[in-house]
Structure 1
Amino acid sequence: MDYLLSLINRVVGNEALARLLFSAAIGLSVVFAVATLVLLVMGLQDPVQRRLLLIKRGHGAVTREAPSNLQLMLEQVGQRFVAQEQDQVSATRTLLIHAGYRSPAAVQMYWALRLLSPLLMLGLVVLVLPLIPKLSLLLGIFLLVLAAGIGWLAPAIYVSARRQARTTRLLVAFPDALDLMVVCVESGLALPQAIERVSEEMAVSQPDLALELALVNSEIRAGIPSTEALKRLADRTGLEDIRGLVSLLAQSIRFGTSVGTTLRIYAEEFRDRRTQLAEEKAAKVGTKLIFPLIFCLWPSFFLVAIGPAIIGVFKVFGKL
Structure 2
Amino acid sequence: MDFLLGLFSRVTGNEEMGRLLFIGAIGLSTVLAVVAVILLMLGLQDPVQRRLELIKRGHLGNTASQEAPSNLQLLLERVGQRFASAESAKASVTQTLLMHAGYRSSSAVQMYWAVRLLLPLVLVGIALLLLPIIPKVSLNQGLLLVAVAAGIGWLVPALYVDKRKQMLQGRLRAAFPDALDLMVVCVESGLALPTTIERVAEEMSVSQVELAEELALVNAQIRAGIPSTEALKQLAVRTGLEDVQGLVSLLAQSIRFGTSVADTLRIYADEFRDRRTQAAEEMGAKVGTKLIFPLIFCLWPSFFLVAIGPAIIGVLRAFR
Q: TM-score, normalised by structure 2?
A: 0.93
Residue 60 of structure 2 aligns with which residue? 61
Q: Deviations over 1:165-214 (max 9, x none)?
A: 00000000000001111111122211111111111111110000011111
Report the CA distance shift for 1:86/1:137 in structure 2 as closer, same or farther (over 3 A): closer
Name the structure 1 match of 2:264: 262
Q: Which residues of structure 1 form unaligned runs of 5+? A: none
| Amino acid across the alignment from 1:155 | P
Return closer, same or farther for 1:116/1:305 CA change in 2, 3 Å cut-off. Answer: same
Equivalence for 2:35 = 35
Q: Letter of the 1:179 partner, please give it.
A: D
Structure 2 distance, partners of 1:107, 1:267, is: 36
Q: Does 1:297 align with 2:299?
A: yes
Which residue, out of 68, 72, 75, partners 2:74?
A: 72
Q: Distance in 2 between matches of 1:55 and 1:290?
A: 61
In structure 2, the residue matched to 1:21 is: 21
Residue identity matched to 1:206:
Q
Aligned runs of 1:127-276 on 2, under 5 Å? 127-276=129-278
Q: Distance between the aligned counterparts of 2:290 and 2:100, measured in 1?
A: 30
Deviates more, 1:83-92 or 1:289-298: 83-92
Task: Measure the CA separation in 1 of the matches of 2:300 and 2:43.
Answer: 66
Q: 1:115 aligns with which of 108, 117, 127?
A: 117
2:272 partner amino acid:
F
Q: Post-superposition shift, 1:45?
A: 5.0
- Equivalenced residue count is 317
Distance in structure 1 (CA, Å) of the matches to 2:56 and 2:194: 31
Q: Which sits farther off after the overlay, 226-235 or 112-121?
A: 112-121
TM-superposed deviation, 1:306: 2.3
Amino acid at match of 1:16: E
Q: Quick check: 293-302 or 100-109, which moved more?
A: 293-302
Contact 2:85 2:110 in 1 (8 A): no
> Secondary structure at 1:174's aligned position in 2?
helix
Write the mapping of 1:91-102 to structure 2, written as runs, cut at 5 A.
Answer: 91-102=93-104
- Report the CA distance shift for 1:282/1:86 in structure 2 as closer, same or farther (over 3 A): same
1:211-239: per-residue Cα shift (whole Å, max 9, x none)?
11111111111100011000000000000
Superposed CA RMSD in Å reads 1.9
Larger deviation, residues 1-10 vs 157-166:
1-10
2:126 alignment partner, one of 113, 121, 124: 124
Q: Secondary structure at the match of 1:132?
A: coil
Distance 1:119 1:315 in 2: 64
Alpha carbons 2:218, 2:232 under 8 Å: kept? yes
Matched residues in 2 for 1:296 and 1:85: separation? 54
- Determine the structure 2 residue equivalent to 1:12: 12
Deviation at 1:299, TM superposition (A): 2.1
Q: Tell me how far 1:302 sits from its aligned partner.
A: 2.0
Distance 1:73 1:241 in 2: 39
Distance 1:88 1:208 in 2: 23
Offset, 1:300: 2.2
Partner of 2:91: 89
Letter in 1 for 2:165: R
Letter in 2 for 1:3: F
How far does residue 63 in structure 1 lie from its aligned partner after superposition? 4.4
Partner deviation per Cα, 1:23-75 (whole Å, 9 max, x = no partner): 10111112123223333443335667545533443x15334422111110110
How big is each residue's C-alpha offset from its partner over 1:103-127, in whole Å with a ceiling of 9 and x where there is no partner? 1111111111111111221122223
What runs of 5+ residues in structure 2 fail to find an aligned partner? Answer: none
